[in-house]
């Protein structure tokens, strides 16, 4: 009986959505008619971070706000705007955080330098090893 | 002896790595995305009224010499109900509050204001979230303090709770 009640409650439960009652934005889930423009828009969406479900791109996110941002991007590209200009517009409002391609800055340079430093460290290590082997 | 010590280095590095991970896991996360427009002019916008018979909200109103609070809210937003009494108290102090209703419908707004109070001098309908994004706001509710020249002075992210009132009022007084 109790199990049946719990099962019933699970069926009746609906997720508490923090979404509005309005339909999705015009271009949230609708592609642009021109494939070249759609390709540009999609490429940009995949490198813009969702503000709600952080860690996802707006291209991957089902959040309503991500849909609104996708629509904004598609409408601006449809109007002939350059994708990088749209990225700059978003960064000027939400900071570097919003883009998955962080620009080189005093805070981010270790991020960009790390791979090269690691390769150098590896080369130095390998050099020591090889030299020792030759001595043997 | 020196060689012996060097052997322990990887383990030490691993311990430091573990400590960093643990610190990151246990520290309370700050997921707020702040607007970059603090200290800058309010972007131009002119929003139609959120409901009939009420004025809409335009950036020009925010540049007429009087500081304002601009509250980004929605009738479908649960924390907005929680902050309603605090907004009412701010309005009763004579602080002008402009509302930006995100993705809202007039009938829902009317019901929300009738139930939770109406502290707004003007309400703009931001149906497509454009103005919210213009402001660098990442969610609802958020509240901006805008000085009389239309410069954004302060951003409060999330519901204004009773303990936040002092900071909001101080930011508003500083914007005079």
Chain A: give the shortest CA distance to residue B105, in Å.
Answer: 8
pLDDT at A135: 66
Domain extent, residue A110, equals 104-136
Q: Comparing C-alpha atoms, which of B145, B131, B138 is closest to residue B174?
A: B145
In this structure, the number of other CB atoms found within 10 A of the CB of residue A95 comes to: 14
pLDDT digits (tens, 9 = 90+) for B130-174: 999 999 999 999 999 999 999 999 999 999 999 999 999 999 999
**CB-CB neighbors (< 8 A) of A65 in chain B:** 129, 138-139
The answer to whether residue A10 sits within a structural domain is: no
pLDDT digits (tens, 9 = 90+) for B39-95: 999 999 999 999 998 999 999 999 999 999 999 999 999 999 999 999 999 999 999
Chain A: give the shortest CA distance to residue B169, in Å.
Answer: 25
The answer to whether residue A116 sits within a structural domain is: yes
Looking from the CA of B61 toward its CB, the CA atoms found within 13 Å total 18
pLDDT at A136: 61
| A56 φ, ψ (degrees, to nearest 5) | -115, 150
CB contact under 8 A, B129 and A92: no
The whole-number average pLDDT for the span B10-20 is: 95
Residue with tokens 């340079």: A109
Does A2 have pLDDT greater than 80?
Answer: no
ipTM over 0.90: no
The answer to whether residue A1 sits within a structural domain is: no
CB contact under 8 A, A22 and B103: yes
Residue B168's domain is classified under what CATH number?
3.40.30.10
Chain B: give the shortest CA distance to residue A7, in Å.
Answer: 27
Chain B: give the shortest CA distance to residue A75, in Å.
Answer: 12
pLDDT at A111: 85
The whole-number average pLDDT for the span B117-138 is: 95
**pLDDT band at residue B3 using 50, 70 and 90 as cut-offs:** confident
In this structure, the answer to whether residues A94 and A53 fall within a common structural domain is yes
Give the three-state DSSP class for A52.
coil
Does B16 have pLDDT greater than 80?
Answer: yes
Does B100 have pLDDT greater than 70?
Answer: yes
In this structure, the answer to whether residues A31 and A74 fall within a common structural domain is yes
* Structural domain count of chain B: 1
Residue A30's domain is classified under what CATH number?
1.10.8.640
Interchain contact A97–B (C-beta under 8 A): yes
Contacts of residue A24, defined as CB under 8 A and 6 or more positions apart, other chains included, come to A64, A67, A71
In this structure, the answer to whether residues A82 and A108 fall within a common structural domain is no
Residue count of chain A, please give it: 136
CB contact under 8 A, B139 and A25: no
* Structural domain count of chain A: 2
The answer to whether residue A11 sits within a structural domain is: no
Least CB–CB distance from B36: residue in A51, A72, A94? A94
pLDDT at A13: 53
Least CB–CB distance from B105: residue in A22, A54, A65? A22
Q: Comparing C-alpha atoms, which of B138, B142, B109, B98 is closest to residue A21?
A: B109
Measured CA to CA, the distance from residue B161 to residue B86 in angstroms comes to 7
- pLDDT above 90: percentage of residues in chain A: 60
The answer to whether residue B98 sits within a structural domain is: yes
Domain extent, residue B61, equals 46-174
């Amino acid at each position: 009986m109790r199990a049946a009640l719990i099962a019933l409650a699970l069926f009746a439960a609906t997720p508490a959505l923090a979404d509005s009652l309005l339909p999705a934005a015009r271009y949230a889930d609708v592609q642009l008619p021109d494939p070249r423009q759609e390709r540009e828009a999609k490429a940009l969406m995949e490198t813009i971070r969702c503000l709600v479900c952080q860690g996802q791109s707006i291209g991957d996110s089902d959040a309503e706000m991500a849909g609104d941002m996708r629509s904004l991007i598609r409408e601006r590209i449809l109007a002939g705007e350059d994708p990088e200009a749209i990225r700059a517009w978003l960064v000027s409002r939400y900071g570097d955080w919003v883009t998955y391609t962080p620009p080189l800055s005093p805070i981010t340079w270790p991020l960009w330098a790390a791979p090269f430093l690691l390769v150098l460290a590896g080369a130095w290590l390998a050099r020591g090893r090889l030299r020792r082997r030759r001595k043997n | 002896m020196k060689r012996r010590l060097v052997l322990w280095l990887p383990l030490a590095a691993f311990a430091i790595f573990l400590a960093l991970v643990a610190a990151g896991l246990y520290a309370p996360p700050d997921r707020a995305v702040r607007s970059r427009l603090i200290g800058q002019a309010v972007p131009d916008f002119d929003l139609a009224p959120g409901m009939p018979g009420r004025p809409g909200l335009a950036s020009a109103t925010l540049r007429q010499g009087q500081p304002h609070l601009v509250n980004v809210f929605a009738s479908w937003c649960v924390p907005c109900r929680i902050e309603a009494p605090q907004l009412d108290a701010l309005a009763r102090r004579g602080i002008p509050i402009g509302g930006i209703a995100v993705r809202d419908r007039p009938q829902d707004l009317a019901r929300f204001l009738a139930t939770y109070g109406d502290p707004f001098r003007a309400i703009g309908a931001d149906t497509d979230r454009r103005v919210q994004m213009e402001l660098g706001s990442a969610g609802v509710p958020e509240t901006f303090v805008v000085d009389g020249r239309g410069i954004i002075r302060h951003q409060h992210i999330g519901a204004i709770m009773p303990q936040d009132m002092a900071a909001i009022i101080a930011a508003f007084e500083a914007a005079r």
